[in-house]
Each structure stands twice: as structure tokens, then as C-alpha cells.
């Protein structure tokens, strides 16, 4: 019969000992510092030995604690590797689920560069706004909009979401100030309150933020703006290619930041899989290039925060 302490307490000790900090261990394990401290004391009681010397706010390992750490860290590494291998497939595609707007406006125009870098990785892409609970095996990786808080998942920020009016160059010539938005058609995506938030943020009165056609997808609203149907409140990462090509312009400099961001998400064990790692590296590099190339997105860093988060479409 194996004599094994509670695994939660072992994880808390191993992380705390590796960092020599309960605070950093808590951040790694997504728990509170008090929980780490409690679990370490529980482990010390279970073992009947002192693992840490507590010197005020500083931590140091005892001789037994250091010896225990040397044994535990390789054991946890082996468990992590075994879990990653469980998710490995001998052959097969990397299966992505991506928001429709993100897929059509930003990802698809760049996928050929990924194929050229990794011709051995076959991608299967599903464009869907459906929430995926990651409990089934339909997909390996998702791209979603939110706050980055998905329990049990690894989430890495691709880009922060930012909103600003965008329209065709010909329509922009009619707009000398934000108040003149009352003379044109406003294009909405969902949720429809985006224009009201931007107008309040820009200090604009006298514009009816409720009228105008509504699209259930941000990409459709941008396409309508390209075709001259009105002014869309553009999500600037999605609009970046149209802005760079001159199909869209920003008639005004005001950029509304949003608490929501675009995220790459997947089950934590998949982080060590070679195709997931390759896609992650490529995706984040492309996103960084997009932000660097767009003055509109750079303006986000200079704009005051404070708008509430909203779902992407």
C-alpha cells in the first residue's frame, strides 16, 4: 500500500519550495496565498517534519525540505509529461474553434503564412460563436473574447479589444467632427450599446445611438462599412487589414478601450504538444505585428480606461 500525502498539499509545497514564495506559488496554482500556507502546514503535520524555516516574510527550506523538493519536482515533471502524452495523437489535424468575426477578418488572411512555416501541421478550423466547454474532444484550441478567466484552461492574451468609428474614405470626407455622425447611418453589431458607450466616452451629444441596421457579427458590420453603407464602430484588430489597405479609415482619433480581450485558450495539458506550441508562437507573433502596424491600436495605450466588458460577436 502506497503511503502518499494529500496531492493538493504536495503541489502546494512543491510550488512554494520552487519559488521560495507562497505568493508566487498561489499565482501559479490559481489559489490564495492563505490556501498555500494552510496546505503546507497540513503536509508538515502529516509528515511530522518541518519543511520550511519561516524568517519573517522570507522562506527558506530546511535540509529535509530541500531533499524532499529534489525528489518531488522530477515526479511532478513526469506526471505532466505523461498527461501531455495522453493528449498527443500519432497523426491528425490541429482542430481550432474560432469566433466568426475573428476568423474571417483577421485569421484567414494570415493562415497561408502559418502553412508556409509549418507545412506538416494540418489545421481544421470551425468558425463558431458557440461556447465550448472543453469537456468534449471536438477541438484542441479555441480563440475567444472575454476576461481570460476560464476555469481549468490555459488562456493567453492575443490582443486587447478596442473600438473606434470606421467608414469608407468617401464617407469620411463628410465627417468633420463627431457631432456630424447624426447625419450618417450608424452600423451596429451586437450588443447594440457600443455606439452609446463610444459617444459618451467621446463627449458627443445630439447623436441617436439607437437607430441603424444591426448585424449579429462584427465582421459583417465592417464589410457593410467598406461598402459605404454607413459608419461602423469597428473592433480595431478586426479592422486592421481594411485600415491598412485604405478600404476603411478612422474619421476620429478617439479609441474606446474595452476590458475584454481576444484570447488563445486550450486545456492546460495541451501546452506541451508540438502543434499547439507552434500555432501559439505564430499567432502571438502575428498579433504583435498587427498591433505594431496600427496607430489606432497604439492609441489604446494613451486612452483612459473605464468601459465595461462586452461579448464579442
pLDDT, one tens digit per residue, over 38-70 is: 999 999 999 999 999 987 778 899 999 999 999
Residue 297: name the closest of 238, 246, 251, 245 by CA. Answer: 238
Residue ranges of domains in the chain: 7-87, 94-313
CATH match of 7-87 with 3.40.50.300: no
Handedness of CA 250, 128, 112, 258 (dihedral sign): positive
Distance CA(244)–CA(232), nearest Å, equals 16
Cell numbers for 125, please give them. 478550423
CATH node for 94-313? 3.40.190.290
- Which pTM does this prediction carry? 0.67
| pLDDT, mean of residues 260-269 | 86
Residue 68: name the closest of 108, 14, 104 by CA. Answer: 14
Whether the predicted pLDDT of 145 surpasses 90: no
Amino acid at each position: 500500500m502506497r503511503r502518499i500525502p494529500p496531492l493538493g498539499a504536495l503541489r502546494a509545497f512543491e510550488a512554494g519550495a520552487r519559488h521560495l514564495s507562497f505568493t508566487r506559488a498561489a499565482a501559479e496554482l490559481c489559489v490564495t496565498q492563505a490556501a498555500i500556507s494552510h496546505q503546507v502546514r497540513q503536509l508538515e503535520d502529516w509528515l511530522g517534519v518541518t519543511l520550511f524555516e519561516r524568517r519573517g516574510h522570507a522562506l527558506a527550506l530546511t535540509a529535509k525540505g530541500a531533499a524532499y523538493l529534489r525528489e518531488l519536482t522530477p515526479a511532478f515533471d513526469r506526471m505532466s509529461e505523461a498527461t501531455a502524452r495522453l493528449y498527443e495523437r500519432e497523426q491528425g489535424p490541429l482542430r481550432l474553434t474560432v469566433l466568426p468575426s475573428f476568423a474571417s477578418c483577421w485569421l484567414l488572411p494570415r493562415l497561408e503564412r502559418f502553412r508556409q512555416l509549418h507545412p506538416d501541421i494540418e489545421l481544421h478550423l470551425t468558425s463558431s460563436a458557440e461556447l465550448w466547454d472543453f469537456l468534449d474532444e471536438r477541438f484542441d484550441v479555441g480563440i475567444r473574447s472575454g476576461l481570460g478567466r476560464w476555469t481549468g484552461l490555459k488562456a493567453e492574451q492575443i490582443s486587447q479589444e478596442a473600438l473606434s468609428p470606421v467608414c469608407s474614405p468617401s464617407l469620411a470626407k463628410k465627417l468633420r467632427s463627431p457631432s456630424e455622425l447624426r447625419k450618417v447611418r450608424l452600423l451596429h453589431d451586437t450588443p447594440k450599446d457600443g455606439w452609446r458607450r463610444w459617444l459618451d466616452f467621446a463627449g458627443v451629444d445630439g447623436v441617436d445611438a439607437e437607430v441603424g441596421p444591426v448585424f449579429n457579427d462584427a465582421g459583417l458590420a465592417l464589410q457593410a462599412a467598406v461598402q459605404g453603407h454607413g459608419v461602423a464602430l469597428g473592433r480595431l484588430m478586426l479592422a486592421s487589414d481594411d485600415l491598412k489597405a485604405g478600404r476603411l479609415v478612422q474619421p476620429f482619433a478617439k479609441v474606446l478601450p474595452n476590458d475584454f480581450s481576444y484570447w488563445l485558450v486550450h486545456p492546460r495539458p495541451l501546452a506541451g504538444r508540438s502543434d499547439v506550441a507552434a500555432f501559439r508562437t505564430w499567432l502571438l507573433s502575428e498579433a504583435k505585428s498587427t498591433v505594431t502596424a496600427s496607430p489606432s491600436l497604439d492609441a489604446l495605450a494613451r486612452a483612459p480606461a473605464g468601459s465595461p466588458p462586452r461579448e464579442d460577436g
